[in-house]
């Protein structure tokens, strides 16, 4: 897993503490979408809500 993906997981974990793969995904590593030069990380939280963080969010950290 590359550094950007690790950072997105770290940001999500700091924000929500417990995060889980989206619905049919087996691991967090499977929860990324790449579109052009943007990396998107989809994940669920304990309340079964789905959240999204993009690589562009890294500029604010």
42 three-class SS: strand
d(CA 61, CA 59): 6
In the DSSP assignment, the letter for residue 12 is H
Reported as a pLDDT band with limits 50, 70 and 90, residue 37 is confident
Contact 31, 1 (CB under 8 A): no
Asked if the model's pLDDT at residue 24 lies above 80, the reply is: yes
Asked if the model's pLDDT at residue 55 lies above 70, the reply is: yes
Token pair of 23, please? Answer: 């619905």
Q: What is the pTM of this model?
A: 0.83
Asked if the model's pLDDT at residue 58 lies above 80, the reply is: no
């Amino acid at each position: 897993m590359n550094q950007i993906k690790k950072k997105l997981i770290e940001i999500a974990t700091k924000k929500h503490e417990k995060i889980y793969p989206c619905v049919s995904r087996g691991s967090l590593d499977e929860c990324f979408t790449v579109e052009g030069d943007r990396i998107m990380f989809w994940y669920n939280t304990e309340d079964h809500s789905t959240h999204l963080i993009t690589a562009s969010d890294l500029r604010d950290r």
